[in-house]
C-alpha cells in the first residue's frame, strides 16, 4: 500500500518538538532576565532630568556627571574597599575549612559542620544586620569598613565554602602523596601543591565573594556610617529623593564590573575551566 500522506504531515511527524519546546522556554527565561537590564541600560542614555518613557534625546551626559559627583565616587571606593576585605576574609576562613572537610567526607560530624558553616545564608539579612549592629556597636566597630566586611563575609564565606568543597573533593590526592614522599609536610604540600592546582576554583570563589559584597544592600544599610556608606545604600537613598538617569548610569557601571570580571576570568583560565581541581 503506497504512502499517500501529504508532505506537510510527514514534516510535522519528523519535527523535533522537544527541541522547539526547550528553545521556546529558554527564550522566555532569557527575555525575563535580560529585558530589565536592557531597560536600565537604555534609560541611562536618556536626556531627560527624570526617568520617563519613552527614552528620548539620547546622551552620554549622565555617565560623566556621576563621575563628577564626589559622593558617588566616594561610595564606589567604599564598596571596592569593603568587597576587597570581604573577599580576603572569606577566602582565609572558607578555604581551609573546605579543605579540611573534604578530607573527612562521609563522616557524621562533617555534615553537621558543613550545615553550621552554610547556616548564615539561610538567615534573613535583616536579622543578621540587626544582630551585628548590636554586637559591633558594643565593641566599637560599628560604621567601619571591617564591620561591613564581617557582615558581608557571613553571606559570602558560605558560598565560597560550598565552591571550594566541590573543588577539593575533585582534587586527586596522589599529588599530595607524591609531595610528601619528596619530603614536604602537610602545610608545604597544601601551599605549594594543592593551592596552585586549584587556583581556578579560588579565582572563581574570589570573584563570587567580591560580587556579593559589591551588590549587598541590607546588611550594609545597618552597619554603615556616613564615611563608609556603600554604593548600593547610596543608590537606595538617591532613589527615594529622585529618579534620574544618573542612577541607571551607576547601575550600568556596576553591571560593567561584573562583566569585566567574567571577561578577565574567561581570558585567564577560561569559563569552562572554573572549578578544575587537578584531577588526574
Residues 79, 35 share a domain: no
Residues 83, 23 share a domain: no
- At residue 71 the predicted structure's pLDDT band, cuts being 50, 70 and 90, is confident
The CA distance from 38 to 163, in Å, is 30
The CA distance from 106 to 268, in Å, is 34
Min mean pLDDT across 91-95, 124-128, 139-143, 186-190 is at: 186-190
Question: Half-sphere exposure (CA, 13 Å, Cβ side) for 89?
Answer: 21
Residues 185, 92 share a domain: yes
Residue 2 domain-assigned? no
Cis peptide upstream of residue 54 (ω within 30 degrees of 0) = yes
Other CB atoms within a 10 A radius of the CB of residue 6 amount to 8
Residue 48 domain-assigned? no
The CA distance from 224 to 66, in Å, is 21
Instruction: Retrieve residue 110's grid coordinates.
Output: 562533617
Mean pLDDT of the 72-87 span: 92
CATH classification at residue 245: 1.10.3720.10
pLDDT tens string 201-252: 888 888 889 988 988 889 999 998 888 999 889 888 888 777 778 888 888 8
Residues 150, 18 share a domain: no
With cell 506537510, the residue in question is 8
Residues 127, 15 share a domain: no
Residues 35, 135 share a domain: no
Residues 116, 23 share a domain: no
The CA distance from 193 to 36, in Å, is 44
Q: Is the pLDDT higher at 75 or at 102? A: 75
Domain membership of residue 31 as a residue range: 7-43
Q: What is the model's pLDDT at position 22?
A: 81
Instruction: Retrieve residue 108's grid coordinates.
Output: 557524621
Q: What is the model's pLDDT at position 277?
A: 46
Find the angle CA(242)-CA(248)-CA(249) to the nearest 5 degrees: 115
Average pLDDT, the chain: 81
The CA distance from 162 to 166, in Å, is 6
Residues 245, 134 share a domain: yes
Residues 234, 169 share a domain: yes
Are the CB atoms for 212 and 229 separated by under 8 Å? no
Residues 143, 189 share a domain: yes
Q: Nearest Cα to 210, choosing from 163, 164, 271, 149?
A: 149
Residue 194 domain-assigned? yes
Sign of the Cα torsion 5, 6, 7, 10 reads: negative
Q: Is the pTM of this model over 0.85?
A: no
Mean pLDDT of the 45-74 span: 80
pLDDT tens string 148-196: 999 999 989 998 998 888 888 777 778 888 888 778 887 888 788 888 8
pLDDT over 60 (residue 122): yes
Can you state the angle between helices 199-215 and 70-102, rounded to 10 degrees? 140
Number of domains forming the structure of the chain = 2
The CA distance from 243 to 76, in Å, is 19
Are the CB atoms for 76 and 231 separated by under 8 Å? yes
Instruction: Retrieve residue 16's grid coordinates.
Output: 523535533
Residues 256, 146 share a domain: yes
Residues 99, 15 share a domain: no
Amino acid at each position: 500500500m503506497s504512502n499517500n500522506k501529504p508532505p506537510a504531515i510527514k514534516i510535522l511527524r519528523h519535527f523535533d518538538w522537544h527541541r522547539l519546546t526547550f528553545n521556546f522556554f529558554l527564550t522566555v527565561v532569557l527575555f525575563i532576565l535580560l529585558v530589565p537590564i536592557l531597560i536600565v541600560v537604555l534609560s541611562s542614555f536618556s536626556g531627560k532630568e527624570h526617568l520617563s518613557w519613552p527614552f528620548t534625546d539620547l546622551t552620554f551626559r549622565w555617565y560623566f556627571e556621576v563621575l563628577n559627583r564626589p559622593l558617588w565616587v566616594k561610595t564606589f571606593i567604599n564598596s571596592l574597599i569593603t568587597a576587597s576585605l570581604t573577599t580576603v576574609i572569606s577566602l582565609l576562613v572558607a578555604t581551609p575549612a573546605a579543605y579540611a572537610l573534604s578530607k573527612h567526607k562521609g563522616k557524621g560530624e562533617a555534615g553537621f559542620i558543613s550545615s553550621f558553616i552554610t547556616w548564615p545564608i539561610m538567615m534573613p539579612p535583616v536579622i543578621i544586620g540587626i544582630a551585628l549592629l548590636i554586637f559591633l556597636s558594643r565593641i566599637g566597630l560599628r560604621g567601619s569598613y571591617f564591620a561591613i566586611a564581617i557582615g558581608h563575609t557571613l553571606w559570602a564565606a558560605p558560598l565560597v565554602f560550598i565552591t571550594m568543597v566541590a573543588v577539593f573533593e575533585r582534587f586527586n590526592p596522589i599529588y599530595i602523596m607524591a609531595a610528601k614522599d619528596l619530603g614536604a609536610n602537610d602545610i608545604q604540600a597544601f601551599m605549594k601543591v594543592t593551592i596552585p592546582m586549584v587556583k581556578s576554583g579560588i579565582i572563581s570563589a574570589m570573584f563570587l565573594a567580591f560580587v556579593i559584597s559589591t551588590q549587598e544592600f541590607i546588611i550594609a544599610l545597618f552597619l554603615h556610617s556616613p564615611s563608609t556608606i556603600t554604593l548600593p545604600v547610596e543608590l537606595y537613598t538617591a532613589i527615594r529623593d529622585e529618579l534620574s538617569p544618573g542612577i541607571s548610569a551607576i547601575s550600568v557601571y556596576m553591571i560593567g564590573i561584573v562583566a569585566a570580571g567574567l571577561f578577565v576570568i574567561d581570558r585567564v583560565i577560561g569559563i569552562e575551566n572554573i572549578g578544575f581541581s587537578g584531577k588526574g
